[in-house]
Structure 1
Amino acid sequence: MTTTSPQGRTELRRPDGSPVRVLVVDDEASLTELLSMALRYEGWEIRSATDGLGAVRAARAFRPDVVVLDMMLADMDGLSVLGRVRRELPDVPVLFLTAKDAVEDRIAGLTAGGDDYVTKPFGLEEVVARLRGLIRRAGAGAGRRGESVLAVGDLTLDEDSHEVTRGGQSIHLTATEFELLRYLMRNPRRVLSKAQILDRVWSYDFGGQANVVELYISYLRRKIDAGREPMIHTRRGAGYLIKPAPIAA
């Protein structure tokens, strides 16, 4: 849900009206404090950690709605932390902080299940904007909608409960996978280009890293189409579309 602060800002809140919870993990104390101050200004509840083990303990106790995670920590790398946090909180969105020239870190983070990244040095406004996008995608700050169920063939997606089923079987998706599938299902039989998907799902140009779309399309296919007639299709040189699978004779 959203509210308006006394300063006129739109505040994201959890469905129960409590503040959004953000876990900030970075071994630079000054950066952690700066980020925490900026996010508290958004009306969010903040917990911080300066190492990987502390991050895992904080995630377990704090149950954050979103995590800001540095790729390089003193005791373990961000990918290891991501794996441990996701065992506790499989759906929590993660925004990675990476070195400016570490392109391989960005791709590795997304491949491992991270939802987004920003490069150092970064603007606080950019971090806040990215987090707002992740929170909305995950549903922590979303309000109720009227017609909330999308259906394409035997595939259904509930925008309120974030439940996805195909043929009555439940399918678990990460926040980013859910948003990508939602975009496809809102546009059935329509070819969507990589640029359109990047703009809608990630809300910005990925600096030429359009292969992230191919990566997440492959994730969806494994979960939606595995062992079934395919619904997600590639139009070479044009983009991707979703349409009902043909009914077996």
Structure 2
Amino acid sequence: MQILVVEDDKRISDFLIKGLQENGYMVTLCRSAEDVLSDFSNIQWDLIILDIMLPGMDGTQLVQTLRYKKNFTPILMVSALNTVQDKVAALDYGADDYITKPFHFDELLSRIKALTRRQQYQQQERPSSVLTFGDLSIDLNQYLVSHGGAEIDLSPREYKLLMYLVENIDKTVTRVQILNAVWGITFDNHTNVVDVYISYLRNKIEKGDSKFIYTIKGVGYMFKG
């Protein structure tokens, strides 16, 4: 099992590495968030143990950046900050767990086992995470859309619109239904935002002879695989 430890305090990092290696884990140390992003973010880690107080970019900012880059490796935050607000902020930004310094090493091991066990369960529950429609592929775990192997850059709203259409494959959905599902029920029903975003989506996912989104005149749209 590969663990990345991000900690700039040598005393603490030595303690973590020694204890983890004695328990059979393979450990890599990184001393700053910037080094993680430049050298380690593309490696498939089983877990990241991350200190909040780092030089330069702090741990919370690193979590946000990793999640934005669609890196969903389990992250255990380690910090001397122990207020409820500190813990809530870290979890809201994408951390999976939070342990306060000082801590007993047995508690750390227990949290590591819980996080990795949860990850294994999620992988077992989602044996097939890729939807394929001809040359169009949607990776539900990575939130990635590609056509013919080439990744398509969709905005969060475009992705949500695509997923709503896919979830209703071969069914006609009205503009009002799309507005309610993708923009919320309080959005102005008289706007043409649905048509505009359908046009954006078509331009991005329909390449060559591929056609997925059909206009149902006077009603709305239908996605066909």
TM-score normalised by the shorter chain: which range applies?
0.5 to 0.7
> Quick check: which has more Rg, 1 or 2?
2
Matches within 5 A, 1:143-222: 159=125, 161=127, 163=129, 171-172=140-141
Q: Deviations over 1:92-132 (max 9, x none)?
A: 00000122433222111100111001001111111111011
- Aligned-pair RMSD on alpha carbons? 3.3
Who is 1:79 aligned against? 60
Who is 1:102 aligned against? 83
One-letter amino acid of the counterpart of residue 181, structure 2: G
Who is 1:32 aligned against? 13
Q: Deviations over 1:13-49 (max 9, x none)?
A: xxxxxxx110011111110111111111221111011
Judged with a 3 Å threshold, the aligned counterparts in structure 2 of structure 1 residues 118 and 78 are, in CA distance, closer, same or farther, namely same
Q: How many residue pairs get matched?
A: 143
Q: Is the 8 A contact 1:49 1:58 kept in 2?
A: no
Q: Is the 8 A contact 1:60 1:88 kept in 2?
A: no
Who is 1:113 aligned against? 94
Task: Quote the offset at 1:84 in angstroms.
Answer: 2.8
Rounded Cα–Cα distance in structure 2 between residues aligned with 1:136 and 1:98: 23
Who is 2:116 aligned against? 135
Q: Is the 8 A contact 1:100 1:121 kept in 2?
A: no
Rounded Cα–Cα distance in structure 2 between residues aligned with 1:64 and 1:88: 15
Question: What secondary structure does 2:41 align onto?
Answer: helix
Judged with a 3 Å threshold, the aligned counterparts in structure 2 of structure 1 residues 127 and 164 are, in CA distance, closer, same or farther, namely farther
Q: Is the 8 A contact 1:48 1:55 kept in 2?
A: no
Judged with a 3 Å threshold, the aligned counterparts in structure 2 of structure 1 residues 28 and 129 are, in CA distance, closer, same or farther, namely same
Question: What secondary structure does 1:75 align onto?
Answer: coil
Judged with a 3 Å threshold, the aligned counterparts in structure 2 of structure 1 residues 172 and 96 are, in CA distance, closer, same or farther, namely same
Who is 1:227 aligned against? 181
Task: Quote the offset at 1:59 in angstroms.
Answer: 2.6
One-letter amino acid of the counterpart of residue 161, structure 1: P
Judged with a 3 Å threshold, the aligned counterparts in structure 2 of structure 1 residues 43 and 158 are, in CA distance, closer, same or farther, namely closer
Pair 1:44-2:6 in alignment = no
Judged with a 3 Å threshold, the aligned counterparts in structure 2 of structure 1 residues 46 and 66 are, in CA distance, closer, same or farther, namely same
Q: Deviations over 1:192-224 (max 9, x none)?
A: xxxxxxxxxxxxxxxxxxxxxxxxxxxxxxx99
Rounded Cα–Cα distance in structure 1 between residues aligned with 2:41 and 2:90: 21
Quick check: which one's helix share is greater? 2
Judged with a 3 Å threshold, the aligned counterparts in structure 2 of structure 1 residues 43 and 72 are, in CA distance, closer, same or farther, namely same
Question: What secondary structure does 1:227 align onto?
Answer: helix
Task: Quote the offset at 1:58 in angstroms.
Answer: 4.3
* Gap regions ≥5 residues in structure 2: 132-137, 144-162, 168-179, 183-225
Task: Quote the offset at 1:160 in angstroms.
Answer: 5.8
TM-score by length of 1: 0.49
